[in-house]
Chains A and B, each alone.
Chain A
Amino acid sequence: MKHDLQKPPASSFERIEIDSSHAERISKPSLSFWQDAWLRIRKNKAAIVSMFILAFIIIMAFVGPMISPHDSETQTITHANLPPKVPGIEKLGIMNGVGTLAGKEVDLYEMKKVDTYYWFGTDGLGRDMFSRVWEGTQISLFIAFVAALIDMVIGVAYGGISGYYGGRVDDIMQRIVEILYGIPTLVIVILMLSFMDPGITAIIIAITITGWIGMSRIVRGQVLKFKNQEFVLASRTLGATDSRIITKHILPNILGIIIINTMFTIPTAIFFEAFLSFIGLGLQPPDASLGTLINDGYKLIKFQPHILLYPSIIISLLMIAFNLLGDGLRDALDPKMKD
């Protein structure tokens, strides 16, 4: 068949109707910011593993002292300085109650005629290390969470007010921050602890007294960025009150960054508490945190290494897991901040 290209027959054309509603269709499933973030973090193996490790440690911090056959405060002098011994695992040649005594490897449990098991061994006063380690973890976590929460509340409020109201208010508030920031934290802490009774409250105050500054700076920057965004202006032209603008428009948009920042505050607080306890400015006996346990263990590192080992492992796991989870959250909640 031959087509005349100069004059194609009308039948070779087909009429196509354009349906304008078709052009407006969106076929992708609708995902909220948080659903999208969850999909992204699920792909991040390190963050997921960290989440499980953290969940395990947090659960153990509460359950650990309960499942141990011994409590953390009973001092049984005859059971002092026992190495770890765990039923089952003892057959593998580790955690079998064998320790060095005067240069020789002996089963200390047999020697001291102890017929129970201390899973993490005992300390110099014969207290069960398993209970003590998990109770210490509990206290360390408590201090860290409370400190992070206080940092968050003060930081968000301070930074938010400073950024949102701007002008003179902002000027004055930022000068105060600069002065506080200029004084080394340790100086403030030492001064403060010298006229406060050492204890959990003192440590929390010590950690938070300058800890909120980082959060307040981040929040202020974010609020400054968002308060002049066109969607906030649109809300204002509709007659929205300040509280509506803050709760409906600004906070939901900076919540991700607040969460990320808090995730990094927690390990910092854990470490700072451990550090204070380690240098002797922290908790006083009989209270014990991971920091004081490490301090105790450090003195006996040559003779009773197990006392240092377990709290160190836990504090390391906590630090690593919180940081990896924080990284994962940052990638998931704020893809732009990845650099």
Chain B
Amino acid sequence: MAEKLLEIKNLKQYFNQGKPNEVRAVDDISFDIYKGETLGLVGESGCGKSTTGRTIIRLYEATDGQVIYDGINVHDKKSKKDLKSFNRKMQMIFQDPYASLNPRMKVLDIIAEGLDIHGLVKNPKERKERVVELLETVGLNREHADRYAHEFSGGQRQRLGIARALAVNPEFIIADEPISALDVVSIQAQVVNLLKELQEEKGLTYLFIAHDLSMVKYISDRIGVMYFGKLVELASAEDLYKNPMHPYTQSLLSAIPLPDPNYERTRVRKSYDPASHNYQDGEEIAMREVTPGHFVYCSTKELATLQAISGSQV
């Protein structure tokens, strides 16, 4: 595949470290993101997906581990100038369309914030023109520039968030559940399609976070599954759907309803019980490659079994 844009190595994010209320929100995960791809990250609410995204983009200091972007460790100490150029490369789209736009600012100023911070425009006229351009990119128009965020619908607000991120011409965008708060499927599809179009047009790379597997399939090239701060499976989208290996992934997949009555009649919801692995003391559990490009968090014993099963299927 293409070259690596981002390498996440043994990333850890512990909140309240050393205190009784310590939370291991992200516990030693490693994965790569390739240039131009969309990596989906799924897992139930509270498993550490947002924390992963926010640590990658430096909203949180990592407890341990590395985030290497284009060969440079993001979490190293940097000069102000380097930090600024880094801020332009990586952007984020947030989950809550109501909390992600400042209620006291006009759309013009919200979207122009990146332009202002990085001095990308010279005068108010150019600023306005650039904002209008961005509004049009996300399917809105000039008339919306002088309005306040509360006047927009959820889907429109989410697109405003996208326009704000695009203002600084980023290469990599972390989309943290950008459609979870939108309850109409056609509006969700509108946002997903917009993200896809932008990706093709601008060659963007995405980390697309979602809490269920239903929508990510359509946007992701590869999908990682998270469970309680750990990455448990990572594979190409197709492989993951056809051939889920970790029992947690299987349970997530069994939860997706399909518009197929024959399938629905036989669909059985599986639940995942971590105790079912029966790991012995001293067994080393890690991400292991079962088939090319398909990684599962397992013990060596499980690896042998999984490889035997997938070998017999081929």
Query: What residues make up the interface of A, taking CB atoms closer than 8 Å to B?
Result: 20-21, 24-26, 28, 30-33, 229-231, 233-240, 244, 248-249, 252-253
Query: What residues make up the interface of B, taking CB atoms closer than 8 Å to A?
Result: 54, 57-59, 83-84, 87-88, 90-92, 94-96, 99-106, 110, 113-114, 117-118, 139-141, 143-144, 146-148, 151-152, 156, 161, 164-165, 168
Residues of B within 8 A of A253 (CB): 102-104
Chain B residue at minimal CB-CB distance from A253: B104
Q: How far is the CA of A237 from the CA of B100 in the complex (A)?
A: 12
How many Å from the CB of A307 to the closest CB on chain B?
50
Q: Tell me whether A24 and B156 are in contact (CB under 8 A).
A: yes
Residues of B within 8 A of A240 (CB): 113, 117
- The secondary structure that dominates the B interface is mixed
Q: Which one of A21, A28, A33 contacts B141 once the chains associate, using CB atoms below 8 Å?
A: A21
Chain A residue at minimal CB-CB distance from B100: A230
How many Å from the CB of B312 to the closest CB on chain A?
47
Residues of A within 8 A of B90 (CB): 237
Q: List 19 A-B contacts (CB under 8 A).
A: A24-B139, A24-B140, A26-B143, A30-B146, A30-B151, A32-B106, A32-B148, A33-B103, A230-B99, A231-B101, A234-B94, A234-B100, A238-B87, A238-B113, A238-B117, A238-B118, A239-B83, A239-B87, A240-B117
Q: Tell me whether A33 and B117 are in contact (CB under 8 A).
A: no
Q: A33-B104, A248-B113 are in contact. List 18 more A-B contacts (CB 8 A).
A: A20-B139, A24-B156, A30-B151, A33-B103, A230-B94, A231-B110, A234-B161, A234-B164, A236-B59, A237-B58, A237-B91, A238-B118, A239-B83, A239-B88, A239-B117, A240-B113, A248-B102, A248-B105
The verdict on A230 contacting B96 (CB below 8 Å), with A238-B117, A253-B104 known, is yes
Q: Tell me whether B94 and A239 are in contact (CB under 8 A).
A: no
Residues of B within 8 A of A235 (CB): 102, 113
Most buried by B among A30, A238, A249: A238
Q: Tell me whether B99 and A231 are in contact (CB under 8 A).
A: yes
Q: Tell me whether A244 and B117 are in contact (CB under 8 A).
A: yes
Q: Tell me whether A26 and B144 are in contact (CB under 8 A).
A: yes
Q: Which one of A20, A26, A32, A231 contacts B102 once the chains associate, using CB atoms below 8 Å?
A: A231
Most buried by A among B88, B103, B104: B104
The verdict on A233 contacting B140 (CB below 8 Å), with A26-B147, A253-B102 known, is no
Q: How far is the CA of A19 from the CA of B259 in the complex (A)?
A: 29
How many Å from the CB of A222 to the closest CB on chain B?
13
Most buried by A among B95, B118, B147: B147
How many Å from the CB of A39 to the closest CB on chain B?
14
Q: How far is the CA of A21 from the CA of B136 in the complex (A)?
A: 10
Q: How far is the CA of A26 from the CA of B110 in the complex (A)?
A: 18
Residues of A within 8 A of B106 (CB): 32
Chain B residue at minimal CB-CB distance from A25: B143
The verdict on A28 contacting B151 (CB below 8 Å), with A230-B94, A230-B99, A240-B113 known, is yes
Residues of B within 8 A of A239 (CB): 83-84, 87-88, 114, 117-118
Chain A residue at minimal CB-CB distance from B113: A238
Chain B residue at minimal CB-CB distance from A30: B147
Q: Tell me whether A249 and B102 are in contact (CB under 8 A).
A: yes
Q: Which 10 residue pairs spanning A and B have beta carbons closest together? A: A239-B87, A230-B100, A230-B94, A252-B104, A231-B102, A230-B99, A238-B114, A30-B147, A237-B92, A239-B117
Residues of B within 8 A of A238 (CB): 87, 91, 113-114, 117-118, 164, 168
Q: How far is the CA of A234 from the CA of B164 in the complex (A)?
A: 9
Chain B residue at minimal CB-CB distance from A28: B151
How many Å from the CB of B185 to the closest CB on chain A?
16
Most buried by B among A21, A237, A240: A237
